[in-house]
Structure 1
Amino acid sequence: MTKEAFVALVTCFNDDETLNLDATRAQVRRQVDAGNNIMCAGTNGDFTALTYDEKVTLTEAVVDEVAGRARVIVNAGMPATFETVKLAREFDRIGVDGIAVITPFFIACTQDGLVRHFSTVADTVETPVYLYDIPARTQNHIEPETARQLSAHGNIAGIKDSGGAQDTLEAYLKVGQEVGDFAVYSGPDHLVHWSLQNGAAGCISGLGNVMPHVLAAIIRAFNAGDQAEAARQQGIFGDFRKDLYGLGYPPALVKRALYLMDNSVGASRQPALLPDPAQDAQIAEILKRYALI
């Protein structure tokens, strides 16, 4: 099976924190030209800082800019099933390739509650739904057996694992292998090549915002059967990840690194961390080390 990479695209803002759709479209073109697909309104896209209407407007712009040249997945997940369903229906109308649903946040959920949540969303749309697990941010975790149960739903197509634990990813991959038509996408950027070798359908990467061509090169080499080149590119990707993420919260650092490369992307909405000149200097030094500026 041909593997694929999605980039969890940053959302671009103007100085007054309004959406900058022109800059966002430019980032879409940059990723598609590199050979990557798009996930919008995810963790790296500041989805928790976006209003309902902005998510719809953003998705319409991304789909329009992609114009069929790549696949688009959009995150509809919200704490309540009610709003998640409303968003998912809008994305269904727009015509995306997949609807990701992050686990509810703030609300503590049982595994039965998660089954009801995801099943209700999948029941109400025609677009394939992808589970999205990131327990460090939401405090809710999709157990592998719950993923197995949900895989039987005719409109739940797979899962994005952003937990960061290799054993959990292995468990999801086992579900995918045994079920047969349940796609597993790796979120941790240091496990892209490993996950492909172990049956993942692909990856959904935040770091790809900064290194789109390296991410695409891992996928391209793997699909060509050149494991040595895939491993070499993964080494670059992993080293950069370690250097950049060693400075703090990954999504904020990805956005800031991209800002230092192209300030049209803008800063993150408050109350995200304010720009720090000392940290910016550290980020810039890392970018120079990898010939990104």
Structure 2
Amino acid sequence: MPDKKEAFVALVTCFHDDETINYDATWRQVARQVAAGNNIMCAGTNGDFSALTFDEKVRLCGEVVDEVAGRAKVIVNAGMPATFETILLARAFDRVGVDGIAVITPFFIACTQDALIRHFTSVADAVTTPVYLYDIPARTQNHIEPATARILSGHGNIAGIKDSGGAQDTLEAYMAIGAEVDGFDVYSGPDQLVHWALEHGAKGCISGLGNVMPDVLARIVACVNAGDAAGAAAAQATYTAFRTDLYKLGYPPALVKRALFLRDPSVGASRQPALTPDAAQDAAIEVILGRYGL
């Protein structure tokens, strides 16, 4: 895999008070991440993808691509429970002109490993944009076993995997595949493992926490690319501590959105039923934000 590492932020989707998408506010978040040096993942877990309609996802992706205007990479999540709709979304994103299409494992529908192979192969066959497997079993209840990832790595249009499982041994197994298979890149999802993953073979990371700490995330990656292990470790220590403090309060994507909201109300709340604003919780988040100078 190429030596230069990269960070993607799983960008929040901004909403008006009536829960319609606020594109102006979303553009500002895109510009903020690009200015920090981060790439964009659109319609991911932190982007309320499961609460967006088909048409909203397609328009949102197009708006983000237009705002980025080639200054950073854009990947987008097309994963849905059924292969049929996943292919329809992937083809729509293919026409928009993204750099990659991530495909989260089907959720609600329990899948065998053979079913996952058929699912991802069908999507990769249907588009020309590189496809990235996306494993987050805690949310989907379906897990891409390393042996399955190895089989799929041989597909000419499957370019890598995002691992959000949180198990270091699984991430190691995925990275071993990346080390052996040209053109199969591994991206780490857990925020506490960014530095470790980059140092041990991951091409990059895709982080939700970067919505709130874009500069710290970018610093981890920049330090790794510059060979500054001490600088990367220091930035990672801050990132990990913030993650621990914030995520102990509840559902991580909603807390990331709420923390961002408390500093920029234009991002809006998450679509319901994710997180109802709560004065006591907001006060706890404020304390954490203050602790980290945010």
Amino acid in structure 2 at the alignment position of 1:96: V
Q: How does 1:156-195 map to 2 (within 5 A)?
A: 156-195=158-197
Q: How does 1:1-293 map to 2 (within 5 A)?
A: 1-292=3-294
Give me the whole-angstrom Cα distance separating, in 1, the residues matched to 2:53 and 2:226.
41
TM-score, normalisation: structure 1: 0.99
Compute the displacement of 1:187 (Å).
0.1
Compute the displacement of 1:169 (Å).
0.6
Q: Could you list the per-position Cα deviations for residues 41-90 of structure 1 after superposition, in whole angstroms to 9, with x for gaps in the alignment?
A: 00000000000000001001000000000000000000000000000001
Amino acid in structure 2 at the alignment position of 1:84: T
Tell me the matched-pair count.
292
Q: Matched residues, percent identical?
A: 77
Q: Could you list the per-position Cα deviations for residues 176-233 of structure 1 after superposition, in whole angstroms to 9, with x for gaps in the alignment?
A: 1122321000000000000001000000000000000000000001100101100010
Give me the whole-angstrom Cα distance separating, in 1, the residues matched to 2:165 and 2:149.
14
Compute the displacement of 1:175 (Å).
1.1
Give SS of 1:126's match: coil
Give me the whole-angstrom Cα distance separating, in 2, the residues matched to 1:116 and 1:72.
26
Give me the whole-angstrom Cα distance separating, in 2, the residues matched to 1:153 and 1:278.
50
Give me the whole-angstrom Cα distance separating, in 2, the residues matched to 1:276 and 1:198.
40
* Unpaired stretches in structure 1, ≥5 consecutive residues: none
Give me the whole-angstrom Cα distance separating, in 2, the residues matched to 1:84 and 1:199.
29
* Unpaired stretches in structure 2, ≥5 consecutive residues: none
Query: Superposition RMSD on alpha carbons, in Å?
Result: 0.5
Give me the whole-angstrom Cα distance separating, in 1, the residues matched to 2:145 and 2:287.
40
Q: Could you list the per-position Cα deviations for residues 93-114 of structure 1 after superposition, in whole angstroms to 9, with x for gaps in the alignment?
A: 0000000000000000000000
Give me the whole-angstrom Cα distance separating, in 1, the residues matched to 2:174 and 2:248.
27
TM-score, normalisation: structure 2: 0.99
Give SS of 1:112's match: helix
Compute the displacement of 1:273 (Å).
2.1
Give me the whole-angstrom Cα distance separating, in 2, the residues matched to 1:166 and 1:260.
33
Give me the whole-angstrom Cα distance separating, in 1, the residues matched to 2:29 and 2:216.
16
Q: Could you list the per-position Cα deviations for residues 111-139 of structure 1 after superposition, in whole angstroms to 9, with x for gaps in the alignment?
A: 00000000000001000000000000000
Give me the whole-angstrom Cα distance separating, in 2, the residues matched to 1:247 and 1:74.
28
